[in-house]
Chains A and B, each alone.
Chain A
Amino acid sequence: MGGIGSLLTEAAARKDLPVVQVLSLLLVTVFVVLNAVVDVVIAIIDPDSVKSRRSA
């Protein structure tokens, strides 16, 4: 698709480790930060749901 996806799969197939490393870190960062932002937004609009979400 000419996006990050094809870059990552191609890099993995060709053992282009620096590219794989950086892209993995980038994706993990986005993933973790987004999840955290969602948690915080929810805590602000609905403090009661925080507990139930944590145990879910």
Chain B
Amino acid sequence: MSIGQLARGRTPAPARRAAAHDPLLIAAALVLVAVIGIALLGPLRSPYDPDQLYAGAVSAPPSLAHPFGTDDLGRDVLSRVLAGARPSIAGPVIVVAVSTMLGVAVAVASAWFGGAVDGIASRLVDVIFAIPGLVLAVLAVAMFGKGLLAPVVALSIAYMPIVVRLVRAGARAELGRPYIAALRIQGVGSLAICFRHLLPALLPTILAQATVGFGYAMLDIAAISFLGLGAQPPASDWGVMIAGGQPALLTGAPEQSMFPAALIVLTVLAVNIVGARTTTWAEAKDR
């Protein structure tokens, strides 16, 4: 057994055992599995064509034929909610994936090299930190035009600083531990130390932050779409659906807005619960 294996030999078994007795976590996980399932399979299984107009039933309340009712143009809300899962989930997933990868790379580089690299990186992070995510997203839309691409790219950059700060702190602490020095003396290469020892040790922190970031990203992207700057009608993105349902809301037909809104809240709630548990686990593992 190498020193590195010893250092990260603590398995998360207690965490796993605790999770089995946590009904809230199980419920949250089930919601997430369901939403991801819908995102992957939804379009195949929806009862109607999400873009088909059913002229007989405009802004109809829920019925057997249309369980979530129909929208102001007579489209089936259930089918649109199902079809909207994919674009509504994909955006935040990309934001979290890109910002995490960039952030971890910058953080590990600045913790590893220190000095000038660290200085430049933290100045860069400070500047990005100074521009709020939504403002950067709107700026990107003004530059590249409406659609999901510009806000997703902008938020991927805007979410980077928080990852850098957290991971850099963790990486510095980890690099200061004796086993890293021992590995170096053994002649283990820098890249091997980074990928085999440093990153696995930081993984709980990274995962916890990624989960939390997903919730924020989902809220931000939905807001951008709601404002008409992201996904464009007639897309069935949840934010777009909520915005499209506003006139119907005021005439007394809330279904069109309420169902996608409920799904956003439910998804973010579930992700936040999982995120909070992951954070607790990451912190427990640090000790």
Q: Does a CB–CB distance below 8 Å link A and B in the complex?
A: yes
Count of inter-chain pairs, beta carbons less than 8 A? 38
Q: Does A28 contact B (CB under 8 A)?
A: yes
Knowing A9-B228, A9-B229, the reply to whether A15 touches B132 (Cβ < 8 A) is: no
Interface bits A6-42 vs B (CB < 8 Å: 1, else 0): 0011011101110010001001100110000000000
Residue of A nearest to B140 (CB): A12
Q: By the criterion CB–CB under 8 Å, are A28 and B228 in contact?
A: no
Q: Does B89 contact A (CB under 8 A)?
A: no
Complex CA–CA separation, A15 to B147 (angstroms): 13
Q: Given A20, A27, A32, which contacts B142 in the complex, CB threshold below 8 Å?
A: A20
Residue of B nearest to A35 (CB): B130
Residue among A13, A17, A55 facing the most chain B CB atoms (10 A cut-off): A13
- A42 CB, nearest partner CB in chain B, Å: 18
Knowing A28-B130, A31-B130, A55-B169, the reply to whether A12 touches B135 (Cβ < 8 A) is: no
Q: By the criterion CB–CB under 8 Å, are A12 and B142 in contact?
A: yes
Q: Does B146 contact A (CB under 8 A)?
A: yes
Complex CA–CA separation, A20 to B131 (angstroms): 13
Q: By the criterion CB–CB under 8 Å, are B228 and A13 in contact?
A: yes
Residue of A nearest to B139 (CB): A24
Knowing A15-B145, A55-B169, the reply to whether A9 touches B131 (Cβ < 8 A) is: no
Complex CA–CA separation, A15 to B60 (angstroms): 37
List of B residues within 8 angstroms of A13 by Cβ: 141, 146, 228-229
- B152 CB, nearest partner CB in chain A, Å: 15
List of A residues within 8 angstroms of B229 by Cβ: 9, 12-13
List which B102-141 residues lie within 8 A (CB) of chain A. 130-132, 135, 138-139, 141
List of B residues within 8 angstroms of A15 by Cβ: 142, 145
Q: By the criterion CB–CB under 8 Å, are A12 and B132 in contact?
A: no
Complex CA–CA separation, A15 to B140 (angstroms): 10
Q: Does B90 contact A (CB under 8 A)?
A: no
17 other contacts beyond A9-B229, A31-B131, with CB at 8 A cut-off? Answer: A8-B138, A9-B227, A12-B138, A12-B139, A12-B141, A12-B142, A12-B229, A13-B141, A13-B228, A20-B139, A20-B142, A24-B131, A24-B135, A28-B132, A31-B130, A32-B130, A55-B169
**10 tightest Cβ-Cβ pairs between the two chains A and B:** A12-B142, A20-B142, A12-B138, A32-B130, A12-B141, A9-B227, A24-B139, A27-B135, A28-B131, A24-B135
